[in-house]
Amino acid sequence: MADVMADGPRTVHGRVKWFDVGKGFGFILDDEGGPDILLHANVLRNFGQGSVAEEARISVLAQNTPRGIQAVEVLSIEPPEGFEMDGDVV
């Protein structure tokens, strides 16, 4: 995985493992496996959201950094199945 991102960010599709608003970060599980991907609150805010539900489907651009793999841009988020939005179950 690190070799693929050596030249720059790559698109990752996965699901949110957890996200803690108070801590300001969470982690994504890549559908292709590998280490967890850090999702920082600032990256999420740039997408227009302050939080994201566990198990939500998410696509991001991820970059290998000295501290591990981090999301640098959120491309899309789909709420988890059964998640209520405005009273409607998705």
State the DSSP string of 12-31: EEEEEEEEETTTTEEEEEET
Count the neighbouring beta carbons within 10 Å of the beta carbon of residue 44.
Answer: 24
Q: Is the pLDDT of residue 90 over 60?
A: no
In angstroms, how far is CA 89 from the centroid of its own chain? Answer: 22
Structure confidence at residue 82 as a pLDDT band (50, 70, 90): confident
> What amino acid is encoded at 70 in this protein?
Q
Provide the token pair at 90. Answer: 């998705």
First to last CA, the chain: 33
Predicted TM-score (pTM) of this structure: 0.83
The torsion angles phi and psi of 42, rounded to 5 degrees, stand at -65, -40
Q: Is the pLDDT of residue 86 over 60?
A: no
Least trusted range by pLDDT, from 11-15, 23-27, 29-33, 82-86: 82-86
